[in-house]
Amino acid sequence: MEKEWHIFMEYGNRTSSFMSMYPGIEHIHIENGQARGIHFRNHLVLASEPHCDEHAKAEEILKLKDSHNKKISLLPIGEKLSCVLKNHGFSVWQIGSEPIFELSSYLESKPLDFLPLGRTLKRRGAALVEITSSYLELYRERLQNIHEEWKQSKMFELGFLNQVDPFFKFDMKRCFILEIRGEIQAFMTAVPFFYRGEILGYYFNDIIRSGRSRAGTNELLIIEAMRVLHDEGVSEVRLGMAPLSRIKKNGPASVFLNFLFKHHTFGYNFSGHYQFKNKLRPTRWDDLYLASSGNGFLQSLKYAIEAHFPNGLWHLAQTLLSNEWGRFLEIRKSVKGMMNIEKGEERYVSSFRDAVGKTKWTLTFMSLFIILHILKVHHPYFSDLFTQSAYTPGAVTPRGLFLAPLFHNHLFHLFGDQLCFFLFGAYIEVVLGVRHFMALTVAGLFLSNPLTHGIMDTGLPHWPDLYQNHFLLEKDYGSSNAVFAFVGAMGGVLKKNMWLFIPFLLYAVYIAFSLQSFLAAHHVLAMVMGYAMVLGAAFMAGFRQ
């Protein structure tokens, strides 16, 4: 092991060079140095660039590929090595970028001037303390408690180059603590990167914050540690790769990775990780790459990801699904609790005037339905329009799609629909707001019929012709689909009154059988749509929080 560390201090000039020495990453012998990586059945994934002379790196990688008779990938690597490997037939993809801080010019810019939370924390007495290995025992228990607390907040532990073990080879690291009146807010380790035995700079790798720390803690810890290092003559600090950040558009792989960067939040928030580093305003960003002797991007990415998860991708998938489902249930529970109306809440309307003001869209739609019914009864044009506007599966027209839900067959049909529309629509408009009311109304009125139609089209061809012909000739009118969408949404909002579903569900089934109507299944579909829409909105609101 001592020999490996000697080679590292001779050639470990990458940010991730130190991390490649962590447990679980195998030593791989090369002629003029060492490489570190993980073997798979038909693939070898190297951690960072080999520890050897700059001019020999590509040659040693090619020798490894031939001697192991495997496809070989390595990450993250710099632009220089990636270009050389590309000329030797390797496929190369940018996978992120790394912030570099040139301390002389950076500290001259007075970074706390654009980091107000860190500046405020410093004014309140936050102070930096450096711990050497000889004083570690005085702090170990407190640091371990903060580390354990931090780990519990994470979904899973990572391996390979993303291991977090601040006490590994502690004598090779620098350790900085930020305290306020003796209470540790956060601590950070800094590992050196070398060339020819000389320290080129430090990589701030483990930044572990207490759950009770104040806003701005990490920013102040980083800036103050930079000051200490700069005073000692250190010229450069790095913060490690921000995965998937600042990827240049170059083919399908970059489009896919940029999409993940913007939208992926399950387990790892790529954009949030980048934004934290970017707000420190680094001197520059260096591009980092994944190189592979195979041409398949997805396969190379799979092995690169699998290397970081020692329990395997299947365990990762199970963990993600179970955690996200649990998170979904928590969001659903909190939103349902928040939206549950209880006596004394401000959401109750206090007067008739207040009721009209808070339910104006419900009353507007009701007025539209009633006016159309009156015109239909008393005006020949609207009577003909009503006749021509039925939603008929065998002859779907724009009128049938958009006008049929606005008309009603007779007065009793109108009265029943509007009574329910007011009761449930007013609840949705007051409790969930206008946007949810409009979305549920439009979805119920105009989507439930075509969706039901599409579902029936997939199943009815297997039934006798009699049933198919009956379905094609059915006619539908009325706003009841919006009512059932409201009922479904209320089922997703109310804490305890899920029994509300049952009579409407039974009624929907009764209507379908009594009218011998396949299309009447749209009532059930509208309920499901309403339920899914309100919980989907709650789910997305939870991720935005």
What are the structure tokens assigned to 95, written together? 């996978």
Distance separating alpha carbons of residues 86 and 100, to the nearest angstrom: 25
Looking at residue 119, what is its pLDDT?
92
Distance separating alpha carbons of residues 139 and 183, to the nearest angstrom: 11
| pLDDT exceeds cutoff 70 at 395 | yes
Q: Where are the beta strands (DSSP E) in 428-504?
A: none
In a domain, 224, yes or no: yes
What CATH number does residue 35 fall under?
A: 3.40.630
Looking at residue 155, what is its pLDDT?
59
In a domain, 513, yes or no: yes
Where do the H-state alpha helices sit in 133-216? 136-152
Query: Domain containing 522: what range?
Result: 352-544
Per the DSSP assignment, residues forming a β-bridge with 384 are none
Q: Are residues 458 and 529 in the same domain?
A: yes
Looking at residue 340, what is its pLDDT?
43
Looking at residue 300, what is its pLDDT?
87
Neighbours of 151 (CB within 10 A): 12
Looking at residue 496, what is its pLDDT?
58
pLDDT tens readout for residues 167-215: 998 889 999 999 998 899 999 999 999 888 889 999 998 999 998 888 8
Instruction: Grade residue 244 by pLDDT with cuts at 50, 70 and 90.
Output: very high
Q: Are residues 292 and 207 in the same domain?
A: no
Q: Are residues 360 and 453 in the same domain?
A: yes
In a domain, 460, yes or no: yes
Q: Are residues 305 and 209 in the same domain?
A: no
**Which DSSP helix (H) or strand (E) runs through 484?**
helix 480-493
Q: Are residues 131 and 40 in the same domain?
A: no
**Which DSSP helix (H) or strand (E) runs through 199?**
strand 198-209
**Which DSSP helix (H) or strand (E) runs through 309?**
none
Average pLDDT of span 288-296 = 89
| pLDDT exceeds cutoff 60 at 346 | no
In a domain, 269, yes or no: no
Which residue has better confidence, 226 or 8? 226
Among residues 187, 156, 158, 192, which one has the least CA distance to residue 173? Answer: 192
Instruction: Grade residue 545 by pLDDT with cuts at 50, 70 and 90.
Output: very low
Is the Cβ–Cβ distance between 400 and 466 less than 8 Å? no
| pLDDT exceeds cutoff 50 at 322 | yes
| pLDDT exceeds cutoff 80 at 350 | no
Q: Are residues 133 and 163 in the same domain?
A: yes
- End residue of a domain, out of 210, 242, 274: 242
Is the Cβ–Cβ distance between 33 and 7 less than 8 Å? yes
What does DSSP say about strands 236-238 and 198-209: parallel, antiparallel, or unpaired?
parallel
Instruction: Grade residue 447 by pLDDT with cuts at 50, 70 and 90.
Output: very high
Distance separating alpha carbons of residues 485 and 225, to the nearest angstrom: 57
Distance separating alpha carbons of residues 215 and 102, to the nearest angstrom: 25
Looking at residue 324, what is its pLDDT?
52
Distance separating alpha carbons of residues 448 and 453, to the nearest angstrom: 8
Mean pLDDT across the chain: 85
Q: Are residues 86 and 179 in the same domain?
A: no
Helix, strand counts (H, E) of the chain = 22, 12
Q: Are residues 507 and 428 in the same domain?
A: yes
For the chain, how are helix, strand and coil distributed in percent, rounded to 5? 55, 15, 25
In a domain, 424, yes or no: yes
Q: Are residues 187 and 52 in the same domain?
A: no
The lowest-confidence range among 10-24, 152-166, 265-279, 410-424 is 152-166
In a domain, 140, yes or no: yes
Instruction: Grade residue 345 by pLDDT with cuts at 50, 70 and 90.
Output: very low
Give the three-state DSSP class for 123. Answer: helix
Distance separating alpha carbons of residues 152 and 454, to the nearest angstrom: 47
| pLDDT exceeds cutoff 90 at 543 | no
In a domain, 265, yes or no: no
DSSP state of 16: T
Looking at residue 336, what is its pLDDT?
47
pLDDT tens readout for residues 70-119: 899 999 999 999 999 999 999 999 999 999 999 999 999 999 999 999 99
In a domain, 235, yes or no: yes
Q: Are residues 475 and 433 in the same domain?
A: yes
Looking at residue 497, what is its pLDDT?
60
What CATH number does residue 204 fall under?
A: 3.40.630.30
Instruction: Grade residue 342 by pLDDT with cuts at 50, 70 and 90.
Output: very low
Residue type, 408: H
- Left (φ > 0), alpha (ψ -120 to 50) or beta: where does 45 sit? beta
Q: Are residues 152 and 54 in the same domain?
A: no
Is the Cβ–Cβ distance between 481 and 421 less than 8 Å? no
| pLDDT exceeds cutoff 80 at 413 | yes
Is the Cβ–Cβ distance between 127 and 179 less than 8 Å? yes
| pLDDT exceeds cutoff 60 at 544 | no
Where do the H-state alpha helices sit in 12-156? 57-68, 79-87, 103-108, 116-123, 136-152
What CATH number does residue 392 fall under?
A: 1.20.1540.10
Q: How many domains does the chain have?
A: 3
Q: Are residues 52 and 171 in the same domain?
A: no
